[in-house]
A and B are shown apart, each in its own frame.
Chain A
Amino acid sequence: MISHRVHRDLARAISSVENRIVELPAALRALAAHGHVPASHHSDVLGVTGPPGAGKSTLVDRLIEGLRTAGETVAVIAVDPSSPFTNGAVLGDRVRMQRHAGDPGVFIRSMASREAGGGLAPATRDAVRLAEAAGFDVVIVETVGVGQIELEVVAVADLILVVTVPALGDSVQTIKAGLTEIADIFVVNMADRAGANRTALDLKHMVHEGRRDIPVLQTIAQDGTGLPELLATIAERRGAEDSNAVRAVRFEVVRRARDAAASAALALLNSPDALAVLERLRAHDITRNDAIDSLLTIFGGPVHAH
């Protein structure tokens, strides 16, 4: 049984590593010294990733509900982006998970991505290990969802859900690159929208071309449709043998390549062309979306998150 006191101690432990007051081993020792959990305890770690607006938080809320009904305790680490300019952040993921307030079997922690790219915060991995040490059966990691493929989740999760929404036209192509490499389960959420079946079919085709068996499921997280099937699939796949080492290596290669690209983009943001676009935005000549499109074109885009 997880107590309110565990919540407090876990929350403080996460802060201590997030703010680099101590390193993970010390924080783990501190948590263990409070005598919460046997050291052998293992949590299954579920990664939830996908583009913004795919309904990840609502889906996580439903997963919590399902796992709790099955008697399991759940910790959630939800990552939101930091402003690259002020380092501040507004973290709003827990808004959709509040009906579990007061249930000590559910712990939800928001994290700002701080300087890290790639969908996770620097301390996410540590926070997962601390939640495990605090005794939660399942730890769910929800990524930033800034529209890129968040491969870093590979490094922390045992099982990865890639969530998407019914797409029009060729949008499925845009999520193709990389996702089949990391997904263990595809979820087409908001399946009551037009194009759901087709999106699911397209994904199945993509999966078929690849070498791994990745189930494609449809859900409507808002009303819970499809959740029993999703939970059953998760239960079935949890603990199955995976190819973590291969995924981790791929992840490391992609991460380094992307870091290089990000450095280049930051340099370009200070180019005269980019500064001119930003100036027009400041003068309300163009909308935010126009500015983003123009900048991406300057960077060799256009690139669209859908």
Chain B
Amino acid sequence: MQTPEKVRTAADDREAWEQLTLLPFVERRPEARETFRTQGGLPLERIYTPEHVEGIDYARDIGFPGQFPYTRGPYPTMYRAQPWTMRQIAGFGTADDTNERFRFLIAQGQTGISTDFDMPTLMGYDSDDARSEGEVGREGVAIDSVDDMHDLYAGIDLEQISVSMTINPSAWILLAMYLVVAEERGFDRRKLSGTIQNDIIKEYVSQKEWVYPPRPAMRIVRDSITYSAQHLPRYNPVNVSGYHTREAGSTAIQEVAFTLAAGIAYVDEVVKAGIDVDDFAPRLSFFFVSQIDFLEEVAKFRAARRVWAKIMKERFGAKKPESMRLRFHCQTAGVSCTAREPLNNIARTAIEALAAVLGGAQSLHTNGYDEALSIPSEPAMKIALRTQQIIAEETGVVGTIDPLGGSYALEKLTAEIEAGCFEYFAEVDKRGGVVQCIEDNFFQLELADAAYDLHRRKEAGERQIVGVTKYRDDSPNPALDLHHVDEAAAARQLERLRKTKANRDDAAVRAALEEVVRVAKTDENIMPATIAAARARATGGEIINALRPIFGTYVEKPVF
């Protein structure tokens, strides 16, 4: 970005400024702290100048949106064409309950839908499993079979609205159910657009939703990606996610590095299965958090794009631009929301959302002010959506692409995060790859250390939380209309499941499950047999359990 000449001048100028202006001033009025760091622990300089961007070449490292290395954005027009997809996640109770919330959100102007499942569905237990007691429909919607899936998206045009499903170890089953619903309603598979999270790697690292050990689980993800590459041209079969890792206490660098390392692992698997990288890489999508440390976050999104572009081009030899451009969904940070003075969360969320937009997100979920208290109420979701609409319609930030690009501070942070990522990739390669690193607890240990460090910095007062650790008053919280857990929903779901089981052909279910088991023992793609089982109304839990004897059940070795 700078000639050596200019850099030298800048350094001289800065030193002069420090001597003449800064030092006398600091002597009179000392700074509040000796060192300032980002939330992720990167040291912050007092001021950034041309000398800090010395190694950065504009054309090579920053460039133009829609062009390698995509630092400034994946598309040449970005929000000037259309704003990001406003995608508020929803899910609770039975399929009918959640369907009603989807219709409310679409009526409010939401442009995509996003589904949150309850813990039993996420973990592959049916609602009538003993392990599910107390959790059916509580933190998300309960889906046991295709019949539930039909009601979940009833009245929604699946060729028009993009549908996202946040689910992992049992994702391939939910994808199968979704495809059966589309088929039975007469939609064209090739027109289905949407995303399924299906990112098993980060489960072992941070979110901790798993069924099988990593190696068979990777095979299932590989099968769903290859199936999707062949049959679902508009569908994103995996959403490689850093959100959960950051929420679990990682640094910003770890969030990007672990996520893109997972991306590398998926690409490796699918390429090994004989699919050309350019035939599926364009459909890989990503998911990051937007935390409260504004500059670091904007830099993080830009760095993620640049790093991924380099990986795809240099490591995998991708040729299509679409294979190199990283597209991501973003959610504001759940952990930044507080239970005390919950309306403050609206301000936090707005700042985080703005960082996501200035970082070039393709879709965004903003948290409700009641995030720390319960799953979101309708009024909380409405304000959250309005926050995004205000950014898009009122602030004017949609007019210029990557408007913070070129800032010395931002470019320096972007480069630091990029460098940190490549250091991690080298370490992961040295240790035998991502799956090996999971089995050896490498990521888990790195994360545990970072989380503990962040926690200690918070307790030491380096990171304050307004209304909680600072400016705290003990006045009671305002009375909020919180989401009310419908304790009767579980009973309704059990009745739905009973009905499904009563109305199906048990012999056909048994045969379909046997076929899934047979395929699992071979190297055939597991998707077609799973779709057939879903069509026969096999439940998610039945499919999961049929495969446990073959794949095993994962037990973590916890590290601290």
Contacts and interface: CB of A to CB of B under 8 A. Distances in A.
> Touching in the complex, A and B, CB below 8 A?
yes
Contacts of A58: 555
Contacts of B315: none
B183 interface: no
Contacts of A53: 440
A90 interface: yes
Contact of B552 (A96, A98, A222): A222
A167 B558 CA distance: 23
A13 to B, nearest CB: 28
Contacts of B555: 58, 95-96, 98
A199 interface: no
Given A57-B557, A223-B552, 15 more contacts: A53-B440, A58-B555, A90-B560, A92-B557, A92-B558, A92-B560, A95-B555, A95-B556, A95-B557, A95-B558, A96-B555, A96-B557, A98-B555, A222-B213, A222-B552
Contacts of A92: 557-558, 560
Interface of B: 213, 440, 552, 555-558, 560
Nearest to B551: A223
Nearest to B552: A223
B252 to A, nearest CB: 15
Nearest to B558: A92
> Which 7 pairs, one residue from A and one from B, show the smallest C-beta to C-beta distance?
A223-B552, A92-B558, A96-B555, A90-B560, A222-B552, A95-B558, A222-B213
A98 B554 CA distance: 12
Contacts of B560: 90, 92
A86 B555 CA distance: 29
Nearest to A90: B560
A28 B71 CA distance: 71
A58 B557 CA distance: 10
Interface SS of B by simple majority = loop
A58 B558 CA distance: 13
A95 B440 CA distance: 16
Contacts of B556: 95
A90 B559 CA distance: 9
Contacts of B440: 53
A34 B361 CA distance: 68
B34 to A, nearest CB: 14
A69 to B, nearest CB: 16
Contacts of A57: 557
Nearest to B436: A193
A223 B553 CA distance: 9
A98 B552 CA distance: 15
Contacts of A95: 555-558
Nearest to A98: B555
A98 B556 CA distance: 12
14 contacts: A53-B440, A57-B557, A58-B555, A90-B560, A92-B560, A95-B555, A95-B556, A95-B557, A96-B555, A96-B557, A98-B555, A222-B213, A222-B552, A223-B552
Contacts of B557: 57, 92, 95-96
A41 to B, nearest CB: 32
A101 to B, nearest CB: 13
A53 B444 CA distance: 14
Nearest to B549: A223
A95 B441 CA distance: 15
A57 B555 CA distance: 11
A83 to B, nearest CB: 11
Nearest to B441: A53
B293 to A, nearest CB: 18
Interface in A43-61: 53, 57-58
A118 to B, nearest CB: 23
A144 B69 CA distance: 49
B429 to A, nearest CB: 16
Contacts of A90: 560
Interface string A93-124: 00110100000000000000000000000000
A25 B54 CA distance: 75
A14 B213 CA distance: 35
Nearest to A61: B555
A72 B194 CA distance: 54
A304 to B, nearest CB: 14
A263 B27 CA distance: 50
A301 to B, nearest CB: 20
A95 B444 CA distance: 16
Nearest to B560: A90
Contacts of A98: 555
- Which has the most chain B C-beta neighbours within 10 Å: A57, A58, A98, A223? A223
Nearest to B440: A53
A90 B448 CA distance: 14
A125 to B, nearest CB: 27
Nearest to B559: A92
B72 to A, nearest CB: 31
Nearest to A284: B41
A58 B560 CA distance: 19
A286 B369 CA distance: 41
Contacts of B558: 92, 95
A98 B131 CA distance: 15
A53 B445 CA distance: 14
Interface in A64-99: 90, 92, 95-96, 98
Contacts of A222: 213, 552
A203 B557 CA distance: 27
Interface in A219-277: 222-223
A223 B549 CA distance: 8
A188 to B, nearest CB: 16
B306 to A, nearest CB: 25
Contacts of A223: 552
Nearest to A168: B432
A57 B557 CA distance: 9
A222 B557 CA distance: 12
B137 to A, nearest CB: 27
A287 to B, nearest CB: 9
